[in-house]
Amino acid sequence: MPRAIQIAAFGGPEELQLVDLPVGEPGPGEIRIRHHACGLNFIDIYQRTGLYTGPLPLTLGMEGAGIVEAVGEDVTHLRVGERAAYASNPPGSYSEARVMPAKTVCKLPDDIGFETGAAMMLKGLTAQYLLKKARPVEGLEPGDFVLFHAAAGGVGLIACQWAKALGLQLIGTAGGTAKCALALEHGAAHAIDYAKEDFVARVKEITGGKGVKVVYDSVGKDTWEGSLNCLRPFGLMASFGNASGPVPPFAPGALGPKGSLYVTRQTLFTHIATRESTQAMADDLFGAVLSGSVKIRIDQRYPLTEVAQAHRDLEARKTTGCTILLP
């Protein structure tokens, strides 16, 4: 019987348990996939702790790559035996095999390996929509400054490279000298060690006092206020995560005096709600990876059975780039 990692209760990494999980046949609109690798994402931690709740017991994991083993009725874009990868709701990729909705599963190009496929879908599609769809009202032109927090992480290193390819001057924040160096190596125009430096003051200095057009903020609670103070008038606060904790309620009135700012809270799952939108975004990502403008850096690999350690390392800010779990 296929094995999977489940939680029976919300809590710490110790809740992650290896279980035998029967996998049936796909129904209409579904496929069965046998995983070669799955991706680790910070959202897995929110789901484990219960910050984002779901029905229990819950098999975690929202990103994976493998071989399509069976195809349900009405699925026309995938065939048995094909290589595929996905970022998808509901969770369940921490498993040897699973049945899942087919609409967000994409055929993996021949020149992209399973490990890369598993590492890049959720993080790469996120970087795609952030840079290309979550746009400030005044638009983004080559040369414009944007601020991206946690720039040496999984989404971060992809965003650094993609922003550079788009001609943007990405100012990346990261904790520590080594992480800052990594962000610069991957295309960030500037890096700020926000563990030591006042990132608001540094952004003002770098931009000649003007501020940035967009802040991409996945850190949440700890950076929220500072991020708003880095924006130029009509700038966009694109909040997309809570690695340091959720942003507390705020008064919209504060956005006026700071320069008539815009705030949005984005999630990938709105962007990949349909087969068509998922495929269009994935094609863009595959193109960026195949052209070499975005390299998927996998810095950590763990056996699926050691997922608890992977969670501890991600939470403790010990990882850089992407992390995969191997069934």
Ligand X SMILES: NC(=O)c1ccc[n+]([C@@H]2O[C@H](COP(=O)([O-])OP(=O)(O)OC[C@H]3O[C@@H](n4cnc5c(N)ncnc54)[C@H](OP(=O)(O)O)[C@@H]3O)[C@@H](O)[C@H]2O)c1
Using the rule CB under 6 A, is 293 a contact of ligand X? no
CA atoms of 43 and 48, how far apart (whole Å): 9
Question: CA gyration radius for the chain?
Answer: 20
Among positions 181-220, residues that touch ligand X (CB under 6 A) are 218-219
How many chain residues touch ligand X (CB under 6 A)?
Answer: 29
Using the rule CB under 6 A, is 152 a contact of ligand X? yes
CA atoms of 208 and 145, how far apart (whole Å): 11
Using the rule CB under 6 A, is 319 a contact of ligand X? yes
* Interface map 62-101 toward ligand X (x if CB under 6 A): ----------------------------------------
To ligand X, the closest distance from the beta carbon of 116 in angstroms equals 15
Cis peptide before 55 (omega within 30 of 0): no
Query: Whose structure tokens read 């970087």?
Result: 127
Half-sphere exposure of 11 (CA within 13 A, CB side): 10
Select the span of 27-35, 135-143, 264-272, 300-308 touching ligand X (CB under 6 A).
264-272
Cβ neighbours for 56, distance < 8 A, ≥ 6 positions apart: 7, 8, 9, 10
Which of 297, 320, 282 lies closest to 129 in space, CA to CA?
282
Token output for 146? 């944007």
Q: Which of 31, 42, 47, 146 binds ligand X (CB under 6 A)?
A: 42
Smaller CB separation from ligand X, 154 or 211: 154
Q: Which of 6, 41, 59, 161 binds ligand X (CB under 6 A)?
A: 41
Token output for 208? 């000649």
Task: Return residues touching ligand X (CB under 6 A).
Answer: 41-43, 122-123, 126, 150, 152-156, 174-175, 179, 218-219, 222, 240-241, 243-244, 266-268, 314-315, 317, 319
